[in-house]
C-alpha cells in the first residue's frame, strides 16, 4: 500500500522578480487565462547555463570563476541553500539570495510505492500549477522521470496528462529542479542518480528549446556532468523535431510512442498521427538512426481489445521490420486512468503480444511499470490532487 508522506519541507514559493526567460520552445497553443506569458516567468539559478551565470555574476561585479564555484556547489554537492556555499563571499551569497532564487518549484507531497523503490513527488510552480516527477530505484540504476509541460496539447486517448489540454510549457529551471530533487533523493539513500527519461507530463518535442537547454545544463562537466547517453527523450511523434534532434551535438536516446501499427488505429489513440502519419514517422526515425547510429525505442501502451490482438502484433512486427529502423519495442501494459475506458490486458495476453512481435525479429521487452499503486501513469497524481478538496491557504 502506498504511504503518503508530507514532504519534509513545504516552502511557499518565494516572491520572485519577473524577468525574461530565454530558450523556451513555444507551442502554437494560446496560453490559458491567468497563465503568465513567456516573458513574465521568474528566472532561477537552475535556468542558467554556465556562460549565462558567468555573465550575471560579472554584472554583479564578481569574478567570472565564481560561476563554476556555484555550479560545483548546487550541482556537484547538491546544496539547497546559498547560505551553505561558504566558499563564496557572504555579500555575493546575500545578493544572489535576493535576486536569483535557486529554484522556483516547491515540493507539495511525496508518495512512495513498490516498497519505497518508487517515489513520486508533486511540485507546485510559482504560478500555482502542479507537476509531478517519479524517481525509480533499481538495483543497477536510479532513474528520474521528468515532466516538461503542465498538461499536454497532444491529447492521447489513454493519457491522464492530455485530458485538460496544455496549460503551459515548463521552463528549463523547472525541469532542472526536478532532476536535482531526484539526485538529492538518491543521495539520501547513498545512491547516485544515473538515468533520466522525459516521460512525465507533456511532450518534450513541443517544448524543444527548453528541453535541449536542460540537456546542456545537466551535461556540463562543471555541474552534474550527466551524460547525454543516459538521457531518453520520449515523443508522440513530432516529426520535424525528430530531425532537429538528430542534428544536436548531444546524443540522447530517442523513444517514440507508437501504440499502433496502422494509421486508422493510431489516429484514434495519438491525435498527432493525423498531422504526422506513420510513414512519415518511420522515415524520420530511419533518418535519425542513420544520422546518429543509435537505436530507436518504440513505446507501445498495451490496451485490452484496442491494440493487443494477434493480427495487430504481427502487423507491428512487419511494420518495424520493413521500416529499416534499427529499433526495439517496449511494451508498456496500460496504467488505467479512472475516467478513461481503457483496460490493461491479462499477463498472458501481454506476454503473447510481446512474443509475436519478437517472432518477427524485433527485440521486445515488457516494462511492467513502477508505481501503479500510486497512479504513476503520467499526470495521474496531479489529476487526483486537483480533484481532491484543497486545504484553505
Q: Which residues bind ligand SAH (CB under 6 A)?
A: 156, 158-159, 199, 203, 234-236, 257, 299, 301, 332, 334-335, 337, 377-378
Least CB distance to ligand SAH at residue 343 (A): 11
Does the annotation list 203 as a binding residue?
yes
**CA–CA distance from 386 to each of 46, 124, 142, 371, 393 (Å)?**
27, 11, 28, 19, 15
> Of residues 35, 88, 100, 154, which one binds ligand SF4 by CB under 6 A?
154
Whether residue 132 lies in the annotated active site: yes
| Residue 202 within binding range of ligand SF4, rule CB under 6 A | yes
Least CB distance to ligand SF4 at residue 257 (A): 6
| Residue 371 within binding range of ligand SF4, rule CB under 6 A | no
Does the annotation list 258 as a binding residue?
yes
Among ligand SAH, ligand SF4, none, what does residue 224 contact (CB within 5–8 Å per kind)? none
User: Sign of dihedral through CA atoms 190, 192, 196, 201?
Assistant: positive
Coil, strand or helix: which one is 150?
Answer: strand
| Residue 236 within binding range of ligand SF4, rule CB under 6 A | yes
Coil, strand or helix: which one is 123?
Answer: strand
Among ligand SAH, ligand SF4, none, what does residue 271 contact (CB within 5–8 Å per kind)? none
Among ligand SF4, ligand SAH, none, what does residue 45 contact (CB within 5–8 Å per kind)? none
Coil, strand or helix: which one is 242?
Answer: helix
Exposure pattern of 79-94 as b/e (b: 16+ CB <10 Å)?
Answer: beebeebeebeeebbe
> Of residues 21, 85, 131, 156, which one binds ligand SF4 by CB under 6 A?
156
Task: Please state, in angstroms and rounded to a whole number, the distance separating the CA atoms of residues 86 and 89.
Answer: 7
- Candidates 110, 112, 132, 174; catalytic one: 132
End-to-end CA distance of the chain: 29
**CA–CA distance from 125 to each of 31, 35, 130, 170, 216 (Å)?**
16, 11, 6, 9, 22
Among ligand SAH, ligand SF4, none, what does residue 303 contact (CB within 5–8 Å per kind)? none
Stretch that binds ligand SF4, among 15-23, 64-72, 158-166, 243-251 (CB under 6 A): 158-166
| Residue 203 within binding range of ligand SF4, rule CB under 6 A | yes
Task: Please state, in angstroms and rounded to a whole number, the distance separating the CA atoms of residues 142 and 149.
Answer: 23
Measured from the CB atom, the residue of 54 and 234 that comes closer to ligand SF4 is: 234
Least CB distance to ligand SF4 at residue 311 (A): 24
| Residue 181 within binding range of ligand SF4, rule CB under 6 A | no
Least CB distance to ligand SAH at residue 85 (A): 35
Best CA proximity match to 195, nearest among 118, 142, 147, 116? 142
Residue 219 and residue 250 in contact, taking contact as beta carbons nearer than 8 Å: yes
Measured from the CB atom, the residue of 62 and 252 that comes closer to ligand SF4 is: 252
Neighbours of 37 (CB within 10 A): 9
* Helix-helix angle 172-188:208-219, to 10 degrees: 40
Whether residue 327 lies in the annotated active site: no
Least CB distance to ligand SF4 at residue 161 (A): 4
Known catalytic residues?
Answer: 132, 378
> Using CB under 6 A as the criterion, which residues of the chain lie in contact with ligand SF4 when the complex forms?
152, 154-156, 159, 161-162, 202-203, 236, 257, 378
Amino acid at each position: 500500500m502506498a504511504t503518503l508522506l508530507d514532504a519534509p519541507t513545504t516552502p511557499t514559493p518565494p516572491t520572485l522578480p519577473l524577468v525574461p526567460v530565454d530558450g523556451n520552445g513555444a507551442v502554437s497553443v494560446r496560453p490559458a487565462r491567468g497563465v503568465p506569458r513567456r516573458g513574465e516567468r521568474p528566472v532561477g539559478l537552475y535556468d542558467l547555463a554556465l556562460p549565462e551565470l558567468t555573465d550575471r555574476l560579472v554584472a554583479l561585479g564578481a569574478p567570472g570563476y565564481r560561476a563554476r564555484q556555484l555550479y560545483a556547489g548546487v550541482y556537484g554537492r547538491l546544496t539547497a541553500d546559498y547560505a551553505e556555499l561558504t566558499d563564496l563571499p557572504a555579500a555575493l551569497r546575500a545578493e544572489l539570495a535576493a535576486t536569483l532564487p535557486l529554484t522556483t518549484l516547491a515540493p507539495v507531497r511525496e508518495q512512495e510505492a513498490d516498497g519505497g523503490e518508487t517515489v513520486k513527488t508533486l511540485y507546485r510552480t510559482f504560478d500555482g500549477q502542479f507537476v509531478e516527477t517519479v524517481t525509480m530505484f533499481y538495483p543497477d540504476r536510479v532513474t528520474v522521470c521528468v515532466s516538461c509541460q503542465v498538461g499536454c496539447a497532444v491529447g492521447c486517448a489513454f493519457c491522464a496528462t492530455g485530458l485538460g489540454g496544455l496549460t503551459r510549457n515548463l521552463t528549463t529551471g523547472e525541469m532542472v529542479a526536478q532532476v536535482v530533487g531526484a539526485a538529492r533523493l538518491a543521495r539520501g539513500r547513498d545512491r547516485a542518480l544515473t538515468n533520466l527519461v522525459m516521460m512525465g507530463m507533456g511532450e518534450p518535442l513541443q517544448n524543444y528549446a527548453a528541453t535541449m537547454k536542460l540537456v546542456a545544463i545537466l551535461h556540463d562537466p562543471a555541474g552534474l556532468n550527466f551524460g547525454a547517453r543516459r538521457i531518453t527523450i520520449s515523443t508522440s511523434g513530432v516529426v520535424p523535431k525528430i530531425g532537429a534532434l538528430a542534428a544536436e551535438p548531444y546524443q540522447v536516446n530517442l523513444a517514440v510512442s507508437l501504440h499502433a501499427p496502422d494509421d486508422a488505429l493510431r489516429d484514434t489513440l495519438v491525435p498527432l498521427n493525423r498531422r504526422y502519419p506513420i510513414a512519415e514517422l518511420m522515415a524520420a526515425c530511419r533518418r535519425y538512426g542513420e544520422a546518429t547510429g543509435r537505436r530507436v525505442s518504440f513505446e507501445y501502451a498495451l490496451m485490452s481489445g484496442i491494440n493487443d490482438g494477434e493480427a495487430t502484433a504481427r502487423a507491428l512486427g512487419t511494420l518495424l521490420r520493413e521500416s529499416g529502423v534499427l529499433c526495439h519495442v517496449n511494451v508498456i501494459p496500460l496504467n488505467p486512468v479512472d475516467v478513461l475506458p481503457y483496460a490493461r490486458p491479462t499477463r498472458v495476453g501481454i506476454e503473447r503480444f510481446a512474443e509475436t512481435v519478437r517472432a518477427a525479429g524485433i527485440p521486445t521487452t515488457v516494462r511492467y511499470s513502477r508505481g501503479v499503486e500510486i497512479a504513476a501513469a503520467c499526470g495521474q497524481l496531479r489529476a487526483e490532487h486537483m480533484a481532491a478538496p484543497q486545504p484553505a491557504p
